[in-house]
Amino acid sequence: MTTLPGYPCAVCRRATGGPESVTVTTDKAHHRFCCLDCARLHMTRKLDPDETAAALKGGEAAGAYLDRIGKSDLAALSEREWAEFCGTLYAGACAELRRVADDAIPF
């Protein structure tokens, strides 16, 4: 897989690409990490139900973005499209986490 410039660590969001960077490839995805400690943390931590729901909402928003631009192959995205895809996914997940937090406030 080609590493995109400035691709952040999947755990701490620091830049990857240095000598201690790690790429973990599964049958479903490629993950980049700034170091082995972040890779271990990512591979052993399970999402709670709210985080899982938020990730799915972010995925729905990112999928809608791909539909809008008429692309489905992530490797074919330009650098600008990749940034927009990632931002859309992240914003969708954050919006869902905010909604859940707002619903939990008792006043």
Helix (H) or strand (E) holding 14, with range, is none
Report pLDDT digits (tens) over 46-88: 888 888 899 999 999 999 999 999 998 888 999 999 999 999 9
SS3 call for 29: coil
pLDDT band at 2; cut points 50, 70, 90: very low
Alpha-carbon span 54 to 34, nearest angstrom: 24
Give Cα separations from 63 to 26, 98, 101 (angstroms).
20, 20, 24
Report pLDDT digits (tens) over 7-31: 788 788 787 877 777 877 776 777 7
Looking at the whole model, is its pTM more than 0.85?
A: no
Length, in residues, of the chain? 107
- The pLDDT score that the predictor gives to residue 5 is 53
Q: What is the DSSP-derived secondary structure letter of residue 20?
A: T
Residue linked to tokens 């869902």: 96
